[in-house]
Amino acid sequence: MPAVRPTVPPRIDETATTRTQLLQRATVCGGAVVGGGIVWGLSQLSFAAPSDEQDARVFKLVLALEHVKAAFYEQALARAGLNGELRDFARTVAQHEKSHVAFLEQALGGATESTPRPDFGDALKDVDAFSAAAVKLEDLAVATYNGQAVNLTTASLTAAARVVSVEARHAAWIRSILGEVPATEPTDAPASEDETRARLRDFGVDVG
């Protein structure tokens, strides 16, 4: 199990490292050009630049997702009637999601206040429902991480990349168990923050 760094080196973006540069940024915030420096137009709001604050917002979003998944597998093991391969899958993945939750909470400096504790109801009424929901959730995790990772600072990106591939493995694994083609697309499309929230709402989970 890798050592996880909970804090990332503080930076505005990958090029600003001195106080002088930071102050220069402040003066160009509205979109002026400072002698050969970066043009901060409306399309390049400081939001787009990686930052600690943005990393935290991203991590909060994916943490909410990981909480949902951890709860899903925990509840599935308790009442979805899983056996054999599916049970082994759920047990392993539950452990992974717990680890993901722990990592993200540590990165954010401790457990967050609002931890979604969804009740999955019909999604866990039987093995088929569980399987279909698991595919959706794993695919959603991949799409969410891929959608958000481009926003992250280098250190956070490095960490997030270590998680997203595991989610992708989960997705192909459950499909393999179901006898479906484990991967059909040549690329995995990213999901925006809105899409992630919408897809979680389909599970009756509101992380807003």
Partner 1 sequence: MELLLDDLDTRGALREAAEKAGISRAVFLGGTIASVVAALSAPAAAEAVSRNDIAVLNFALVLEYLQSSFYTEADRSAALHGKAAAAARRVGAVERAHVKAFEALLGRQAIKRPAFNFAGTTESDRPFLKTAVAFEDLAVAAYKGQAPRLRSKQVLASALAIHSVEARHAAWMRYLFHVQPAVSAFDDAASKPKIERVVAGTHFIVARPRMEARRRPRLTG
Partner 2 sequence: MSRRIVAALGAAVVAACAVVAIGKVAVGAPAGPTSSLRGAPLPRAPRPALSVPSPRDLADSRHVSVWTILVRPTTARARPDADARPVARLARRTPEGTPNSLVPLGRAGDGHGHVWVRARLPVLPNGTTGWVPRRALGAYQAVRTHLVVDLERLTATLLRDGRPVLRAKVGVGQPRWPTPRGEFHIRNRLTGYRDPFYGPLAFGTSARSAKLTDWPGGGFVGIHGTDRPDLVPGRVSHGCIRMRNDDVLRLGRLMPVGTPLTIR
Q: Give residues in contact with partner 1 (CB under 8 A).
A: 1-2, 92-93, 95-97, 99-100, 103, 142, 145-146, 149-150, 154, 157-158, 161-173, 176-177, 181-190
Which of partner 1, partner 2, none does residue 144 bind to, with CB < 5 to 8 Å depending on kind? none
Exposure string over 74-94, b if 16+ CB within 10 A, otherwise e: ebbbeebebeeebeebbeebb
Q: For residue 162, what are the contacts with CB-CB under 8 A and spacing of at least 6?
A: 2
By CB under 8 A, tell whether 186 contacts partner 2.
yes
- Rounded CA gap, 151 and 157, in Å? 8
Nearer to partner 2, 33 or 45 (CB): 45
By CB under 8 A, tell whether 151 contacts partner 2.
yes
Binds partner 2 by CB under 8 A, chosen from 129, 178, 193, 203: 193
Binds partner 2 by CB under 8 A, chosen from 29, 34, 132, 161: 29
Tell me, by CB under 8 A, how many residues bind partner 2.
42
> Which residue in 116, 101, 115, 86 sits closest to 163, CA to CA?
101
Nearer to partner 2, 82 or 104 (CB): 104
Nearer to partner 2, 63 or 82 (CB): 63
Please choose, out of 133-141, 159-167, 173-181, 183-191, the segment that lies near partner 2 by the rule CB under 8 A. Answer: 183-191
Which of partner 2, partner 1, none does residue 26 bind to, with CB < 5 to 8 Å depending on kind? partner 2
By CB under 8 A, tell whether 45 contacts partner 2.
yes
User: Which residues make up the interface to partner 2 (CB under 8 A)?
Assistant: 9-12, 16, 18-19, 22-23, 25-26, 29-30, 40, 42, 45-48, 51-54, 57-58, 60-61, 114, 146-148, 150-151, 186-187, 190, 192-194, 197-198, 208
